[in-house]
Structure 1
Amino acid sequence: MGGLLPVLLLILAGVLVGGAFSLHRQGAPRGVVLTTAALSMLAAVAGGLWLLPGEGS
């Protein structure tokens, strides 16, 4: 399970990026688009950091 979670987080980040782009193109309120984009960045950073080697690995 240790290698699956970062992959799922990076997939989630990709889905959220697509969602943010789609919301932007549909004219959604700026706050909704920015929130979706921020969640995407958070998921991408979490997935990336999870892959870094550390003491627990």
Structure 2
Amino acid sequence: MSLVPILLLGLCGILVGGVISLSRQGASKFSIGLVAALALLALAGGVAWMMPGDS
């Protein structure tokens, strides 16, 4: 089992917490959207890394 998907999913959780914190603090929509997009990328990367592949 590789360590990379665990780290990516952990990063996703931290970023989701950041989105919640930013929205509660009344941050700009751009900053909330940027952090949310990064969280989605980390989630997609973690899930894609766990998919079975040819190699």
- Please tell me the TM-score bracket, short chain as reference: over 0.9
Runs of 4 or more consecutive aligned structure 1 residues displaced over 2 Å after TM superposition = none
The code of the aligned residue for 1:12 comes to L
- Contiguous gaps of at least 5 residues in structure 1: none
Give the TM-score normalised by the residue count of structure 2.
Answer: 0.96
Q: Partner of 1:38: helix, strand, or coil?
A: helix
The aligned counterpart of 2:8 is: 9
Q: Partner of 1:28: helix, strand, or coil?
A: coil
Q: Give the fraction of aligned pairs with identical amino acids, expressed as a percent.
A: 47
- Root-mean-square deviation (Å): 0.9
Tell me the distance in 1 between the aligned counterparts of 2:23 and 2:40: 16
The aligned counterpart of 1:30 is: 29
Give the TM-score normalised by the residue count of structure 1.
Answer: 0.93
- Contiguous gaps of at least 5 residues in structure 2: none
